Amino acid sequence: MSQKIRNNQLQDELEYRGDASVATHLHVCAYDERGVDMGKGHRLSDVEGLISKRRQHWLQVHGLSDVATIEQICRHYEINFLVAQDILNPQHLAKIEQHDHYNVVILKLMLLQPDGDYSLHQISMIQGEDFVLTFSDRDIDFFAFVPDAVQNNVSKVRNRGCDFLLSVLLNSVMSHYMGILSDMEDQLEDLEEQLLATLGDTETSIGDIQKYRKLCRMIKKYMNPLKDGMHVLLHCENCLIQDATLPFFQDVNDHLKSVFQSLDTCREMISALVDLYLSNNDQRMNSIMKQLTVVSTLFIPLTFFAGIWGMNFQVMPELGWKYGYAGAWGLMIVIALAVFWYFKRKKWY
């Protein structure tokens, strides 16, 4: 059943459109050159002391079920109502756009599950002059290493602006997708070797090929909007991306290009595997037909003699012969062996 799409421009109130039941909780990492302060809570008032000191800070929001808290955060940072709607809609397409005093990045994150499938998570990022906000409707720890990097001032992150922190978060996502596609290339090579070495298990092979094809389709769908969107950050007109940080965003863009190059490689490998799979199917069918043809050919001369001896003539000398039955069997066996030997000699079987 198709899902009814509502017109968000005719709504006056925010509404969470996902199905996750994770309780909303906040994590704040406020920092400057002198040090770092961490805090967490369930309401904006719980961390207001950290975000009101005009220090650079990163506010992580996990769980979007508490719409009132999300609305309060958006009002505090003067986030557009339509952007707030996009944040609360986990099915929103990926995008990058700029506003007067903040940049918006919405992307999809695919995380590997223990059963081998990937779960899909939407991450919404908003970067202002002295803040970065990230929203996710589930409790994921994908960026768990970043607060430690800020704490240890890795790459002098505390000496740089929030635009650098945004580039770090984006680069982590791009590197993650590069890792997914690199693993996929290795798995496709293994599958290719399996198909080349043997005719293989038909159901298993086609199932794996379909799984990788679906994964490539999903990655392209969720990453394609970012290809054009990176142009917005590289040519930002609201002065929130400093010239000194542009090389880091260019590095993110290079990684994004690598993702699409790897994606093209995987799609070509999948196409080649489909051709190889079809070729194996034809080869398997030819092998079966060859075996059936050999069996049929062996019985042609035997059927010929059986047909002669089955005719209702009154005088057939060999039918009255004492050793006629044994002779008939011997003749048939000799003919069958002779035909089989001939096939082997010609390497037809």
Give the domains, in start order, of the chain with CATH numbers. Answer: 1-159 (3.30.460.20), 288-345 (1.20.58)
User: pLDDT tens digits, residue range 27-46?
Assistant: 999 999 999 999 999 999 99
Amino acid at 162: C
Between 148 and 203, the more confident residue is: 148
Confidence of residue 307 (pLDDT cuts 50, 70, 90): confident
Q: Which of 5-9, 185-189, 287-291 has the highest mean pLDDT?
A: 185-189
Token pair, residue 193, equals: 């070797």
pTM for this predicted structure: 0.82
The arithmetic mean of pLDDT across residues 71-81, rounded, is 95
Percentage of residues in the chain with pLDDT exceeding 70? 94
Enumerate residues 6+ apart whose C-beta is below 8 A from 275.
none
- Residue 4, pLDDT score: 57
Q: What are phi and psi of 52, to 5 degrees?
A: -105, 10
What would the mean pLDDT of 102-117 be, rounded to a whole number?
93
